[in-house]
Structure 1
């Protein structure tokens, strides 16, 4: 089409859009609900909620938590907690109700009953029913109004295989239960046929992530197999009952995999000719156009058309916040007019190819729907060849008008239990009350019809671009996005390359020279213990002495190196790590059994430490001056001297790099003693230090057996500082030995020690169990529980104990135990034979406990088994005594103790009732209890409504107290102070009554002037 014709076409379509929109608007103005209509009162409530943003937030938070509130007292308490701060914005009746209602009072009971009743009534507006009979009644009513339907199952998030099976069964039951009734309806040509003939009356929308609890973009093959196994029976039932199946689209992270699975299953011989299927495309994604183009090419190869539901997208806030927090590009358009413009572009694309990609235009925006009708007319697309889709309970008047105009209108109809469906209700309410919502603008704020029907391009011309967001001084290294196939391919390539390098030999490095020894440490792959990762020279006490002496000699010049130059060295290390990110992660997979995401995160944290400490040192290098007339005072820092860094194996690169980088940038020289289980990764770090040109004598690589070299490293009089991360027993031994003063030493040794934890997560009675179960599983069994921050105690309030435990066990049982190099693995091996034996002995001992109440709720499958690697499946013990060994001692493995608490007072007593104070967590939707956690939970890092692992540099400086450490915080603003000595210099500048002027002084004058 020539440019002039294209412009005319756009102008003609826009003019037609305006005419259609005005016509629909005029009819809608005459159809507003009356005061006797329930929806009129619902709309008044929504209008009130929209009047103030803070009220809206609290209202929706209350609706979200309501399903978990079992008693009138709980409801009244939450109403008080949620609305107390915003009471001045409430209607007078609501304020009076809050003022006079209290838990355990008659008024409190009345308020609670009304709150639950109103929420239930509101939910019934948006949710069609909870069983076949109720759903049949609702869809029959829709049909009488002239609407078609598509059903979507609501409920809890699917976090276990039994829940995924139940999701599948509900669809099978509904298909088979509704089929005979729906197919017996008398024909309605407008909604039951298209240009070719009959179309299915029964339509169902399915979320693929709900068909397989281990749906992971990092594991496309395993995920696809799990999804297809449950999707195929649904498709067979649909064909038997003449039903249509639509695949819903969810978060951006699952988009590509969802499209891939959709294409794969419908290219199978059994389903290749099935035309009654479709998928969603989200227009708020700039990628929508390429996704549609890809679907078009695939359909042509398939030979059978599909339907495409075009939507704006329901996860804008989530996608924006999640991407920013992860440091990834925001995948959605930043402004609404851009999404609207893309929606119109893709609408035209669908209509241009309507015989292959059959359009379903899903929106409540009058402009968007009017534009679709105008495009269809312009391209001569028959009315029966496409349809309008709208949400159940929303925009009813508009839907009725389009039906009367002769268009097929299909209502997206959620069904399921009303209480679990509350999350869906909240999303619908948010859509109804968002600032950019068409319904809000048209019915609540009296925006003119001219503005509402303005083209997105015109809106964009009048809309200022989004404000530039301030760039923080420090930005965390983004974790790799394994939903991106190019990232997965890069990681797999690195794994293949590293596997070819396994078994090599590595020397000590002292003063820049490679040194061999007569002993070696053999590093084995925990996932496959027959596989040798490398053979590393093992240092002797003499080697330790040599390394310390070399570090002492190197200290003089290094300590005098400009801090700016020292910071630049760290940035060079970070740059090198970025370039080798997948390679370094692959070494961690093989040497330490870290699954893909865990290994990747460890490398990112190592980069963060380098960049953050470089930034911090630049600031700390600026002297603090406090001058007065005749006196100058300068406060600055000097390095301590020789630092010994003793690192653990569980974060083999991050912690070793972090402690070493902190020592180096502050001007200390370092002897690195890595864990015996991870010497090869440490050798790679040493190689990086050499590659960037760090001077000889500044860092020394000294792998060895702790019992052999440890006494010399800790006891040497030439060592000034010891940075240690590891077990409490070893750490306290280091602290004790360092305190013994050798007459030859010049400094009192300084010890930095992080010693582990016995971390707890409290589950409140109002907690979101979807999030709580997932958070505890991630915290307890991520990296097989081998993190000092891991959750080893779940303290659950009595009210939700049974429900939580049941879901926890079934969800944990669904985790895949396997080798770390398998991207589908959730729980890999433990680190070595010693750890395997120790954890097994603990489990066996607890099985034989004399405590009659304690039970082994889950003995997880060991996956490949101990013959291949050091595999121990997740274990959950229930009804654990808070004072028992299981609840008090650090196990450092995939073992979780679940403890019951009668109330929140007891929960905090249990949580604080150990020798440790490292990390803790709490899942609660009570502002009062969350505040109590902030004040009473004795931990160095407290996590509210999220997992208690995964601290990031600068965001969550990490470290604990009591027997968890000395209180220093790695990755925090005061960590480098541990490696420095503060010095103050004062100079008297007064000489015989004369002092040099300061920079702020005015020039002196004399009488002669």
Structure 2
């Protein structure tokens, strides 16, 4: 067995402040296996009770134990029960609790145990049986919560940690709270930790020294330790905004570390979602290299073994700490956000950051444990696991290497593995218990994670309670083949969307930010219309300017004349016969080539969007994705429609198929300057129509870039033409022209209705009726009821109302809040909006950029002035003077008939309305001429069902944001005065660009007909 002396040779790093031994080891993992098995069997024997788990459950009379047992045995009940538990803190009466119990557990897919079924057999939630059921279950859930949460206030926590110390266990305390969405909350988080440290260290002065946990190797160990989350120090923490996030977070971290040192407390930094990992590590590494903090050894960092790149991260910490010259602690855990990480990656079509099989995570945990312990001179190890084998492996390595007592401790979560913790203490190891504390509402997400862990089939705790065979429980993890643990397929089949950029990845973030500077070097050029395959000069031009910096000219754009528009129409008419005969496969191939070019140039295209229309980078990138998706999706759809369908009878054939309409005029908006024109244009083209694009004047440089791509992808001369021009002249001329067969439009209600009316008029020589597809905006509402997750609802409303300065057709301009939570929601909403960064769109920290131009700014100001007379100003943020900026503004107590509650504003203006009941909220939501998008935040099943039936919108989003529709997943479009036509990105959108035909042939000749299948 190798000893520490065999593994270490002395070395000196000139950058270090002390000598560090360098570890050189190649010990095979199997070396530690016999000792691991011996220790694991000892630990397991000490943790198991004499009776079987099932016998324990049968004998239990406590409802909290019954709930857990039922959840283990019934997957459908588990889902519904945990959803109810998630909702419970928002319910404030026994009747509400009883009603939600019936709604969640009365689901026909849920098979209830007899005891639970009997308890729920009440007719009225207000009845005595209903009250009894509510009391029983809510008490059981509170009991469950108290099993895993160390206290609801500091005094309770002090009692808990003092009890742990009597059991010779150290502690670390974590303040519960999943979401910090306002700067006030971030400051309160810091102040809460400073108060926690103060009270704990004051109490610690009266504690008797316990050598097992307060001393090691003649060194005193801080008695008080707290665990903090980096993202909670800044509400706008964002991997895209590296410098801004680092600056705002670092000041608060420094203050915390100074105060903790002054009071004698240790600080450990937790790890959260994968998106924040690299920035978290970078910030901590920089701070801990500063002279003030460089020699601190009472600080820790967490690594999560379920991450595929965790070994790389650990190696990076080893290298970094050699430079630092002083060790710190690494808490090694398996990870708590597996479901969230896999779902997000699948939805985004990103590589899975986590291992997909628990065995792979367990194996990686053991590799990292060995790596960490074999480098114990640099990093103190804190091994956090409830898996007996995982802890036994760490102990086997520590024993073999004779690792000093100070350099290793074993950790468990409060309430999760009490007997294991006691057994580890009995083995002579320092054991630290992770103690979360706080109120039940912020603690509910934590509780759900613990319940999921306890009841999961793969949980070691559950398998141990079920008394699986020792050989099975303690066997080394068997890692599946590489292919079996590859990324989970993003979809079960069907269309696969292109992935957005992941700006947490520096290899994607840095090129995207660099592209903005590259594009800036290309500003000021002139872009001419494309007519009959040639770029043609024009008599009139306009400057397209950057709305963040209006003095910056993005480009000059040539505006076509009426004569040039007529020339383009004649070119399209001449090109149509050939284009409609072009095979669909060839047309679809051109769209796929366009998609490839869009993908190649996505960073540059996003940069043009940022600069020309003031859209922040993340949203600009998502728009490029949407444009790419339109190309692929409509190519696929046209190939699907190509064959039509047959209905044949003996002696007769019937063939239903499609042909293109003719000439399509596309009138596109500025707010989605790439995605919307791309979608409308390529749909028309792949269907075999010749297409004229008349873009908004303020975004014509971007459509010029699209034009370059379409030409390069092989679209023939005259088939597609780019015609920037005035809507009042050229646009009107194209709409009325007798040679035009179809108009697709996205823009205002006034213009859309005028197009619809004018297209209906037959012009001299016109032999067809024109088809109009128009999307005309919305006055979109989000309803928030009493059961809503307020963290989720506030963040969702803020994003929907103020992202891209409210300039989306789907933006939220009304939020309708049920009266019992109106004030609480409004206060938090105001503070969340106040925490947003307003500024130039090209700055990485910006969430609210400019509006499109001076006319829009002035029109929005007029609405704000009207709102002051109609409602109460709850928030009005300042905005930069340079540029076309409007700071977010929130009106409260808004009457239903107020101008700001009825008319589309297209700016960062939000009206908050009060409803006294859910039916009233639905009625208020429907009380406008628009019906585009709507949202609901609720955890009440009956409310969700009612909204599905009665909420009059084309796109209804439940418990998520209402913007950002994705091609094929959420085909987009509304009705009433929000639009006419089928949904963009949906399976029937292309049908609008096609004329259906039926061809029937009598195939009889003199009484006989071909016989199918005959030779």
Same fold by TM-score greater than 0.5: yes
SS at match of 2:650: coil
| Distance apart, 1:131 and its partner CA | 2.3
Take 1:756 and 1:385, find their aligned partners in 2: how far apart are those partners?
Answer: 62
| Distance apart, 1:141 and its partner CA | 0.6
The answer on whether the counterparts of 1:55 and 1:86 sit within 8 Å (CA) in structure 2 is no
| Distance apart, 1:284 and its partner CA | 0.6
Cα deviation per residue 1:841-862 (whole Å; 9 max; x = unaligned)?
1102211x1x4xx210000121
| Distance apart, 1:42 and its partner CA | 4.4
Tell me which of 584, 593, 599 is aligned to 1:578. Answer: 599
1:871 partnered with 2:893: no
Cα deviation per residue 1:390-449 (whole Å; 9 max; x = unaligned)?
000111011001101110000000011133312211111111111111110010x32111
| Distance apart, 1:653 and its partner CA | 0.4
SS at match of 1:85: coil
Take 1:165 and 1:403, find their aligned partners in 2: how far apart are those partners?
Answer: 38
Shift in alpha-carbon separation, 1:39–1:825, aligned structure 2, 3 A: farther
1:73 partnered with 2:95: yes
Aligned ranges for residues 192-231 of structure 1 at < 5 Å? 192-195=214-217, 197-231=219-253
Shift in alpha-carbon separation, 1:634–1:416, aligned structure 2, 3 A: same
1:961 partnered with 2:983: no
The answer on whether the counterparts of 2:591 and 2:713 sit within 8 Å (CA) in structure 1 is no
The answer on whether the counterparts of 2:591 and 2:686 sit within 8 Å (CA) in structure 1 is yes
The residue that corresponds to 1:1006 in the other structure is none
Take 2:847 and 2:177, find their aligned partners in 1: how far apart are those partners?
Answer: 24
| Distance apart, 1:901 and its partner CA | 0.3
SS at match of 1:388: strand
Take 1:39 and 1:501, find their aligned partners in 2: how far apart are those partners?
Answer: 75
The residue that corresponds to 2:32 in the other structure is 13
Tell me which of 589, 592, 616 is aligned to 1:568. Answer: 589
Take 1:252 and 1:754, find their aligned partners in 2: how far apart are those partners?
Answer: 38
For the aligned residue pairs, the C-alpha RMSD in angstroms reads 2.0
SS at match of 1:403: helix
Take 2:26 and 2:475, find their aligned partners in 1: how far apart are those partners?
Answer: 17
TM-score (norm 1): 0.96
Take 1:463 and 1:872, find their aligned partners in 2: how far apart are those partners?
Answer: 52
The answer on whether the counterparts of 2:57 and 2:65 sit within 8 Å (CA) in structure 1 is no
The residue that corresponds to 1:609 in the other structure is 630
| Distance apart, 1:699 and its partner CA | 0.6
The residue that corresponds to 2:20 in the other structure is none
Take 1:273 and 1:264, find their aligned partners in 2: how far apart are those partners?
Answer: 13
The residue that corresponds to 1:162 in the other structure is 184
The residue that corresponds to 2:12 in the other structure is none
SS at match of 1:911: helix
| Distance apart, 1:88 and its partner CA | 6.3
Cα deviation per residue 1:740-779 (whole Å; 9 max; x = unaligned)?
1012112111111111000000001100000000010111
Aligned ranges for residues 233-272 of structure 1 at < 5 Å? 233-272=255-294
The residue that corresponds to 2:18 in the other structure is none
Shift in alpha-carbon separation, 1:648–1:299, aligned structure 2, 3 A: same
Tell me which of 6, 31, 41 is aligned to 1:22. Answer: 41
Structure 1 gaps, min length 5? 1004-1009
Tell me which of 307, 332, 338 is aligned to 2:329. Answer: 307
- Count of residues in correspondence between the two structures: 990
The residue that corresponds to 1:1007 in the other structure is none
Tell me which of 924, 928, 948 is aligned to 2:942. Answer: 928
The residue that corresponds to 1:548 in the other structure is 569
| Distance apart, 1:1002 and its partner CA | 4.3
The answer on whether the counterparts of 2:76 and 2:110 sit within 8 Å (CA) in structure 1 is no
Structure 2 gaps, min length 5? 8-24
| Distance apart, 1:101 and its partner CA | 5.6
| Distance apart, 1:41 and its partner CA | 6.6
Shift in alpha-carbon separation, 1:463–1:975, aligned structure 2, 3 A: closer
Tell me which of 535, 557, 582 is aligned to 2:556. Answer: 535
The answer on whether the counterparts of 1:183 and 1:201 sit within 8 Å (CA) in structure 2 is no
1:860 partnered with 2:877: yes
Take 1:88 and 1:839, find their aligned partners in 2: how far apart are those partners?
Answer: 51
Take 1:291 and 1:683, find their aligned partners in 2: how far apart are those partners?
Answer: 44
Cα deviation per residue 1:832-883 (whole Å; 9 max; x = unaligned)?
0110000011102211x1x4xx210000121x22xx2111111100010111
The answer on whether the counterparts of 1:310 and 1:362 sit within 8 Å (CA) in structure 2 is yes
Aligned ranges for residues 35-184 of structure 1 at < 5 Å? 42-85=64-107, 89-100=111-122, 102-155=124-177, 157-184=179-206
The residue that corresponds to 2:15 in the other structure is none
The residue that corresponds to 2:13 in the other structure is none
The residue that corresponds to 1:747 in the other structure is 768
TM-score (norm 2): 0.95
Take 2:63 and 2:904, find their aligned partners in 1: how far apart are those partners?
Answer: 57
Cα deviation per residue 1:349-388 (whole Å; 9 max; x = unaligned)?
1111112111000000001001110111122213442000
1:699 partnered with 2:713: no
Tell me which of 366, 373, 376 is aligned to 2:388. Answer: 366
After TM superposition, the structure 1 stretch with the greater mean CA deviation from structure 2, 622-631 or 749-758, is 622-631
The answer on whether the counterparts of 2:94 and 2:134 sit within 8 Å (CA) in structure 1 is yes
SS at match of 2:697: coil
| Distance apart, 1:102 and its partner CA | 2.4
1:943 partnered with 2:957: yes
Tell me which of 734, 738, 756 is aligned to 1:735. Answer: 756
The answer on whether the counterparts of 2:329 and 2:381 sit within 8 Å (CA) in structure 1 is yes
Take 2:173 and 2:668, find their aligned partners in 1: how far apart are those partners?
Answer: 55
The residue that corresponds to 1:478 in the other structure is 499
The answer on whether the counterparts of 1:940 and 1:967 sit within 8 Å (CA) in structure 2 is no
Take 2:981 and 2:57, find their aligned partners in 1: how far apart are those partners?
Answer: 63
The answer on whether the counterparts of 2:63 and 2:137 sit within 8 Å (CA) in structure 1 is no
